[in-house]
Amino acid sequence: MMQAYQTSTVDTLFEDIKAHGFNDIVSLHDPARLDKRHRSLIPVILSYLNQVDDIAHRDVLVRSLGVKGFNEAVAPLIEEFRSSADISYKWRIGDTIWALSYFKRPELISHINPFTQHEKGWVRREANKAIKKLQKLQ
């Protein structure tokens, strides 16, 4: 007897992406190619962060949000950071948030500021460095 194929969460994500009119994102390697024309996909990608079970897949989604300066992803990424127990995944989220500071957007300071009180010294130092850079732009 043949088992029915169950649609995975990742498959559903790609169906949603296609439904938004983007046929160029068809694999987990493609989100790294996102650019400004894909901005409308940010809420779609964010909605799947908590639905995707595989941490490697979640990692790809997090990276796709940071490299293009999608600053509206900062607050949800901070929440994702706080809710995760996986240190490697937290590291990726932190890298993504830190990368967003390179986009010279002083309004990110309020999103980075909570990390200045983090229990880990290196997190506090990186947050303070990013804020200092952004304050110079004000």
Domain range annotation of the chain: 9-135
Q: What percent of the chain has pLDDT over 70?
A: 88
Q: What's the pLDDT score for residue 4?
A: 42
pLDDT for 3 equals: 43
Distance CA 12, CA 121 (A): 39
Torsion sign across C-alpha atoms 97, 35, 62, 56: negative
Q: Number of helices (H) and strands (E), helices first, in the chain? A: 7, 0
Q: In the prediction, which pLDDT does 115 show? A: 84
For residues 10-31, average pLDDT: 81
pLDDT at 28 over 80: no
Tokens of 43: 């809420």
pLDDT value of residue 32:
67
How far is 138 from 131, CA to CA, in rounded Å? Answer: 11
Comparing 76 with 26, the larger pLDDT belongs to: 76
Global pTM?
0.68
Q: Average pLDDT over the chain, rounded to whole?
A: 81
Record the tokens describing residue 106, joined without a space. Answer: 């002083």
Q: Evaluate whether 46 touches 73 at the Cβ level (below 8 Å).
A: yes
